[in-house]
Amino acid sequence: MSDKFNAITKNRAEELGYDVWNDFVLPPYFDRLDITEARKPRIFIGGRGCGKTMLIRYLSHVSMFSKNRKRITQEDTENIGLYWRIDTHFASMMEKRGLEDDIWSGAFTHFSTLQISLEILRSLQSIADSTFENLSKEDLESLSFQELLDFDTSFPQGFDMLVKDLKSRQRRFHLWLNNVRTQPILTFLPKELIYSLIEIIKEQIPVLNKTIFFIYLDEYENLLDSQKHLVNTWLKHSEIPLIFNLAMKRNSFSDRDSVGIEQISKIHDFRVHDLELLIDEKSFSVFASEILFLRLGKQNYPSLLTSEVDFQSENDLNKRGESSYQNQILSKVRDIFPTYSQLELANIVINNKLLKKRLIDIIALNLQYRHSELSPLDFISNEYPQYSILVPALLNRQKLSPEFIHGELVKATIGQSSDFSSGKMWYHNMFHGCYIMFFAPLNRICPIYSGFDTYIRMARGNLRHFLELCHKSFSLSENSNEYLVIDQDTQNEAAKQAATSLLGEVKSFGISGNNLYTFIVRLGYVMYLSHLKPAQSEPEMTHFGIIPGTKTLSRENEEFLKEAVKWSVLFEVQSTKNKDNIETENFDYILNPVYSSYFAISHRKGRKLNLSTDQIDILINGDVRTYQALYKQLQSQWMVKISRQNNPTFSQLNFDLE
Amino acid sequence: MKILMTEEELEEDISRLNEVDVSFHGRDLDHRGAKSLDFINEKSNTSIKIEYDVIDKVIIINEKETIIIDEFYDYFDNSFSGKSLLLETTTLGLPELLILIRAARNSSIKELFMVYWEPYHYKRQGHENILNNRDFELSGEVLGYKAIPGFAPLMLDDPDLTTQTIFCLGFEASRLDRAFEENQMIDPINCSLIFGIPAFNPGWEMNSFANNLRVIQERKLLGPYYYCAASNPLATYSYLKKLKKSLTESTENMIVSPIGTKPAGIGVALFVAEFQDVGILYDHPVKEIGRSKELGNRHIYEINFDE
């Protein structure tokens, strides 16, 4: 991999560390978050890859008072963010084990108090080490912590000593928690300690006397229920100078949870920011491009950055929302990631000897099947190859005679109105599906997965996925030019590699990760099969709806689908009417388009595949034999003739049991 | 600590393993487990089933009695001090091994033996393709990385403390992936990987490499990489000990994640029984019933804590 593109290999917030000052691009919705004015607790919701963790790390003191930040004003110190992530692996031990709930409550409070207090002290250190001139290390060393002695007479005086002491208490707590029977009982510190600490700071450091501390608790959904209850009460009592805020994944709570958002909202006053709803597709495209440009610009391609607009300044947010600016960005990024037009795609076939021969052979076979005297060459147009691509599917439609199709083709090629370009709109409706079907059994990837807009569609709001696609493209590219362009074939290959990697991750998604993976593979494969329907009357089936079977959808299966949505393996959309007007469940489900290149299916949202509740049950719970039977039944029902063994992705699939 | 190891291909008895007082076993899930239980029943006067419940944090004895994990060590000391013990490690899970081995070390037991049966070698097609038949099969649930009291590491956002995490790897790359997904405090820069090489059977190491490669690349695990024989707990134990000694105690922590072979897990359990400040990260996969596996080689390990 080229070293040149190291800039964008770090596409997870965790990889960037806590100081993200240099790397953070303000999201377009940043001013809607009312960061500095907020006095109520806020809850940030978003799926993986939406930028949630990055945002709260940016708001926290390590970034806000980064050594890389050239100018820090008095006003900046009036809001100090504390990033708080609980080791939930460790915290899961704080229950049962023969101890009463109130002991665990005290333990969790103590654990949290230590961590938050340490974080407060570290925030002061961040400010002292930064370019802010009105707070120095000496100021910190002169702090007196007399009041803390009320909580424990062994608290040392002196800033550094206090930090050491708190860390030592953390280690002792760890020892105790690991062996609650054999370790001496600890004095649990109450939450009030935090408030005392803040009071000490505000009284003794005049420059901070207006300061409000904002806690950002990440991954709230991973806490035990008892711990969530505690945090909820802290949220309730959130007031100046300490405000609690939470960050969590979407769909983190089932209806039966007693601590979900609905329950919290009954008793508390707070504001929810759903980060994914705050941004539309165009804004996302621009935002994603800006992040890419920032990374590339800093390292290798300074021409991508302009001094006119600062991605990292609140002052330029409005400018970044203007159409002219946005169109400029999109134009630049589309130059980097060109796509094939549909004509170019068709020409790939016509201009390649083998591919052209394959097209002719398929048409010949279909003509024979239709008992037609016409020659396959009559259907090959060098000027309108995009229409020729549709012919195999059209010949499979019994209602259309080969002569009629030929007649329409002739009309289309001499500029007359025909069902290809108007009327039945064959070209508009069928090109993509026919093209995918043509490439299905071949060794080479269907070249439709290139282009910036395609990448954006496949990423579907997930910044991480978008950056992953870019990263793979760059690493496969041999481009050493001054002008940054990634050719379509490279992008295509990159898409498939990224899809393969990302699909592999599914196994690690929660308790049902393995099942989710199997389900998605089975579903993807069924969708692939549906793309091979010879007549292409309902092309590009990349989403499904559920129709009644012999039984209703079980509760477990409903939960499973919710889990798939939580992890963004499926996306849930309001149900659309299908052709036959059959009653469906309320939601349709889209397979995450980032996986589309892996399964050789369309990345667009095409027609809906109807799966019965029984079929869904087989996909989720059926054993291999039952799944195979379903597959064979669908293959027969859809009259798919192409042999599966010819597709290299699935070529090792051996359905014969040992 | 001294570990004596014997490996045998025959089903005959070996002289080292005489009758023991008590044997401990887990759930017998398949042919391998059933056969192994027969073996230990012949060898011991009493046979006890031990299971650890991850959520309730209790040990279940013979499916009846429940003991809180924190109280288990006293119970063990009272019940088995002075006795000779045999652990049937093919059926015992990793948490059970951690707990039993620590308990054995802390008590004054007479002798400690362990038996492990490898799965049998079978011919595979050896294709390194993306999709294979297994992808269509249902696999078990994984409860996820949950701490086992007594073995939990402390992972803090402390700039003055470095934590070295060592993974013992097997075939399933998703377990490594999940470790990073669920424990975002693990720093890839401070990770080491131990591969079980040589594997149980020639060629199997390719599965380990091929499967884990994706995660290694994605998570940017630049190493170092180490190799300890898949069936040799002593190799893993010795290696971990060497690593521990190379760390600076005040500023460097150590965590081990035994997500590879069972013998590697035994090596890890022996190591953390001795170095009790080392934490364990384990993901508690739910074992599937009825995977039909023929029996491979049988290993007997004899442990002497005093030497």
d(CA A114, CA A108): 10
pLDDT for A264 equals 64
- At B265-298, the pLDDT tens digits run 999 999 999 999 999 999 999 877 665 567 778 8
Q: What is the mean pLDDT of chain B?
A: 86
Q: Nearest-CA distance from A549 to chain B in Å? A: 22
- At A270-285, the pLDDT tens digits run 888 999 889 999 999 9
Residue of B nearest to A91 (CA): B147
Q: Contact at 8 Å (CB) between A63 and A83?
A: no
Is B181–A174 a contact, with Cβ atoms under 8 angstroms apart?
no
Residue of B nearest to A183 (CA): B70
- Within 8 A by CB and 6+ apart from A474, the residues are A2, A4, A5, A8, A486
Q: Which helix (H) or strand (E) holds A217?
A: strand A212-218
Residue of A nearest to B286 (CA): A511
Q: Which residue type occupies A642?
A: I
Q: Which helix (H) or strand (E) holds A319?
A: helix A317-320
- Provide Rg for chain A, Cα atoms: 30
Q: What is the interface pTM, i.e. ipTM, of the complex?
A: 0.89
Residue A491 has a CB neighbour count (10 Å cut-off) of 27
Chain A CB contacts of B160 below 8 Å: 167
Q: Find the farthest-apart pair of alpha carbons in chain A and give their distance in angstroms, rounded.
A: 102
Residue of A nearest to B161 (CA): A167
- At A364-414, the pLDDT tens digits run 999 999 999 999 999 999 999 999 999 999 999 999 999 999 999 999 999
Q: Compute the average pLDDT of residues B177-193.
A: 91
Is A87–B135 a contact, with Cβ atoms under 8 angstroms apart?
no
Q: Compute the average pLDDT of residues A438-449.
A: 90
**Between residues A596 and A250, the one the model is more confident about:** A596
Q: Is the pLDDT assigned to residue B157 strictly greater than 80? A: no
Q: Nearest-CA distance from A627 to chain B in Å? A: 8
CB-CB: which of A623, A627, A650 is closest to B131?
A: A650
pTM: 0.90
Which residue's entry shows tokens 């993974």?
A: B167
Q: Is the pLDDT assigned to residue A1 strictly greater than 60? A: no
pLDDT for A182 equals 80
Residue B48 touches chain A, beta carbons under 8 Å:
no
Residue A90 touches chain B, beta carbons under 8 Å:
yes
pLDDT for B209 equals 86
Helices (H), strands (E): how many in chain A?
Answer: 27, 9
Q: Is the pLDDT assigned to residue B109 strictly greater than 90? A: no
pLDDT for A566 equals 87
pLDDT for B124 equals 45
Is A517–B184 a contact, with Cβ atoms under 8 angstroms apart?
no
Burial class (CB in 10 A: 0-12, 13-18, 19+), A101: exposed
Lowest mean pLDDT among A378-387, A446-455, B109-118, B290-299: B290-299
Which ranges in A341-451 belong to alpha helices (H)? Answer: 342-350, 353-369, 385-388, 391-395, 402-413, 426-439
- At B229-266, the pLDDT tens digits run 988 999 999 999 999 999 998 889 999 999 999 999 99
Lowest mean pLDDT among A491-495, A592-596, B201-205: B201-205
Q: Contact at 8 Å (CB) between B208 and B198?
A: no
Report the side by side order of strands in the sheet with A79-85.
Answer: A79-85, A212-218, A242-248, A42-45, A271-274
Is B57–A655 a contact, with Cβ atoms under 8 angstroms apart?
no
CA distances from B296 to A151, A510, B8, B293 (A): 62, 33, 9, 9
**Between residues A137 and A305, the one the model is more confident about:** A137
Residue of B nearest to A82 (CA): B157
pLDDT for A633 equals 94
Q: Contact at 8 Å (CB) between A108 and A239?
A: no
**Between residues A338 and B30, the one the model is more confident about:** A338
DSSP A571-617: EEEE----TT-----SEEEEEPGGGHHHHT--SS--PEEEEEHHHHH
pLDDT for B125 equals 37
Q: Is the pLDDT assigned to residue A584 strictly greater than 70? A: no
B299 forms beta bridges with B7, B116
Residue B56 touches chain A, beta carbons under 8 Å:
yes
Q: Nearest-CA distance from B128 to chain A in Å? A: 9
Is A514–B139 a contact, with Cβ atoms under 8 angstroms apart?
yes
Q: Is the dihedral of CA A465, A51, A124, A317 positive or negative?
A: positive
pLDDT for A641 equals 77
Chain B CB contacts of A525 below 8 Å: 136
pLDDT for A259 equals 61
A 508-567 near B (Cβ less than 8 A): 508-515, 517-518, 521-522, 525
Residue of A nearest to B136 (CA): A518
Q: Nearest-CA distance from A504 to chain B in Å? A: 7
pLDDT for A317 equals 92
pLDDT band of residue A258 (cuts 50, 70, 90) is: low
Lowest mean pLDDT among A181-195, A331-345, B289-303: B289-303
pLDDT for B119 equals 79
